[in-house]
Structure formats: structure tokens, C-alpha cells
Amino acid sequence: MDGKHQLTEQELWEKYLAVTRELMKFIDEEDIDTFLELVDQRQQLMEMLQALPDHEYARSLEGVALRKQIEPMDMQIMHKARSWLNRSKRNNMTVRGYDSFGLATGNMFNREY
């Protein structure tokens, strides 16, 4: 043991729930940088959970109830992330459209007639 406190399965699931709530907050605020950092943290928590030898807490009534709290938030996060991504793509396409339009009209006005 390296002297670090090992988190229990219950503590890991509680942290997973807390990070999921934070994800909701930051996707609503469209703070994508923080959102992506939290996605990484949550992935690390999931990897820690998967590495556990047994999943007794996850199968307990309390664990099942906790996971049921997470499920609808996951669905909302995925929906909001997709919506943000689609808006971002549309905005980028619009900007590129104006950029190419601006170059074309700029060249037209720079011509000598």
C-alpha cells in the first residue's frame, strides 16, 4: 500500500454522482472547458469502479437507487452536449460562410474597372 486512502465502492459512486451533477451545471453554463475536465474525472472514477473486485454496493438497494439518480442526468448531459455540439458546428459553418463571402466581395471591390 502506498499510504493513500483507498476509496470504497460507495465513496466512488457518491463522487461519480457529485461529478455528474457538476457536469449538468457546467453544460448548462456552456463552460465547455470545465465540462470536458469533469468528463475526464468522471471517466477516471468509472475506471476505478470497474477495477474493483466486486460490485456489492452497486447491487445493493442503496447503490441501485444512486445509479437511478445518475441515469436521467446522463441522458440530459448527452442531449445537451449534442445540442451544444450541433450549435457550435452551425456557428462555425456560418462563420466560414461569411469568411468566404467576405473574401469574394473584398476581391470584387478591390478590382479596378
What are the pLDDT digits (tens) for 11-62? 999 999 999 999 999 999 989 999 999 999 999 999 999 999 999 999 999 9
Q: Predicted confidence band at 1 (pLDDT cuts at 50, 70, 90)?
A: very low
Q: For the chain, give every domain's residue range.
A: 9-86
Q: Maximum Cα–Cα distance for the chain, whole Å? A: 81
Q: How far apart are CA 26 and CA 41, in angstroms?
A: 14
Backbone angles phi, psi at 71, to 5 degrees: -55, -50
What pLDDT, on a 0 to 100 scale, did the predictor assign at position 101? 54
Return the closest-CA partner of residue 73 out of 23, 30, 15.
23
- pTM equals 0.76
DSSP result, 53-88: S--HHHHSHHHHHHHHHHHHHHHHHHHHHHHHHHHH
- Identify the pLDDT of residue 90: 78
